[in-house]
Amino acid sequence: MNTIFSIFATSAICLLLVGVIIVVVIYLVVRKSREALSDLSNNNSSASETTNQTSNNDGDTRWSRGNLNTIPLPPPIAEASQPCPACGAQNLGSAGVCTSCGSKLK
């Protein structure tokens, strides 16, 4: 009977600790959300006062605008290819055997 009580007490303590951790995490998330909302409202009111000022803190970044295009890559350099005499598959010029069938290339 004593072991059942100790197991119950241990699980109750573990559940209590998990509950406390969840409450702390929820509190921190809510507090951070309130700060973000107040910062957003402060930025909107200050933006109406100053029209020509921009900063990276108000969401004016490439990421927030969705402008994530990168610099175009140059076209790939065409490497010489040779057809396989057995199956006709294209292989790199430096290959000694066919990548498709394994036959020796000339």
Cβ count within 10 A of residue 84:
20
Is pTM, for the whole model, over 0.85? no
- Residue 51 DSSP label: S
Could you give the CA distance from residue 63 to residue 83 in angstroms, rounded to a whole number? 46
Write the pLDDT tens digit of every residue in 42-84: 766 555 555 444 454 556 666 666 666 677 778 877 778 889 9
User: Range with the lowest mean pLDDT among 6-15, 58-67, 96-105?
Assistant: 58-67
Instruction: State phi, psi for 90 to the nearest 5 degrees.
Output: -80, 135
